[in-house]
Amino acid sequence: MELMPYIVEERKDTGLYNAKLGIWLFLSSEVMLFGALFSSYVLLRTGAAHWPQGSSILNVPMGAFNTVVLIASSVSMVFAWAALKENKFGKFKFNLGITILLALTFLVVKSFEYGAKFEHHMYPKTNTFLAIYFTLTALHALHVIGGIIVNSYFWGPGSKMWQTDPQRFTNRIEIAGIYWHFVDLVWIFLFPVLYLL
């Protein structure tokens, strides 16, 4: 038998190509992972004698800025994919580059936030609020780093595939985009829960 089917084209009855189904399945498990941590947050908070107001400890303007940064990066990610659909490779490079830079900006801001906490001797071990804050945001940051690595690969060496197999490359960018929007979405939940409530 020949090549693996449905790498590029969609299967008729499912309407999906393999990797697209794969990424949705992966994200459903990610929902369960973050869902478990959010549930833990709820259980710890409802069981706690004292629970600090998030805004009294965390830097709300910095968090809000980071929210804007991530949403903007999601937009440029969509533009990158749309550019490939329009067959404009230069525009794709530009937009994916913006996405990566915005993601890096997010991490820089985040590291300043972490640094400020450590300066004030606020560590994960200080109390359960900080413990769950550091756990959730660090896990999210790991996902951001993962996204940066994947996007950088497609921006650099991985983009050669555009010459040989443009349809498949477009699919890859679509999948990286779906993942990236999820990372963005997690932050949109994290920010109000941790910073505002």
Element at 15 (helix H, strand E): none
Helices (H), 86-165: 89-119, 128-155, 161-164
**Interacting positions 41-60 with other proteins (CB under 8 A):** 43-44, 47-49
Contacts with other proteins: how many residues (CB under 8 A)? 43
Per-residue interface string for the shown chain with other proteins, residues 117-156, x marking contact by CB under 8 A: ------xxxxxx--xx--x---x-----------------
CB of 70 to other proteins, least distance (A): 22
Cβ-in-10-Å burial (0-12, 13-18, 19+) of 131 comes to middle
Q: What is the spatial distance between Cα 31 and Cα 186, in angstroms, rounded to a whole number?
A: 9
Residue 64 sits in the site that holds other proteins (CB under 8 A) = no
Q: What is the spatial distance between Cα 143 and Cα 141, in angstroms, rounded to a whole number?
A: 5
Residue 21 sits in the site that holds other proteins (CB under 8 A) = yes
Residue 3 sits in the site that holds other proteins (CB under 8 A) = yes
Residue 4 sits in the site that holds other proteins (CB under 8 A) = yes
| Residues contacting residue 193 through CB under 8 Å, at least 6 positions apart | 38, 41, 54
Q: What is the spatial distance between Cα 116 and Cα 123, in angstroms, rounded to a whole number?
A: 11
Residue 109 sits in the site that holds other proteins (CB under 8 A) = no
User: What residues line the site for other proteins (CB under 8 A)?
Assistant: 1-7, 11, 14, 16-19, 21-22, 25-26, 28-30, 32-37, 39-40, 43-44, 47-49, 123-128, 131-132, 135, 139
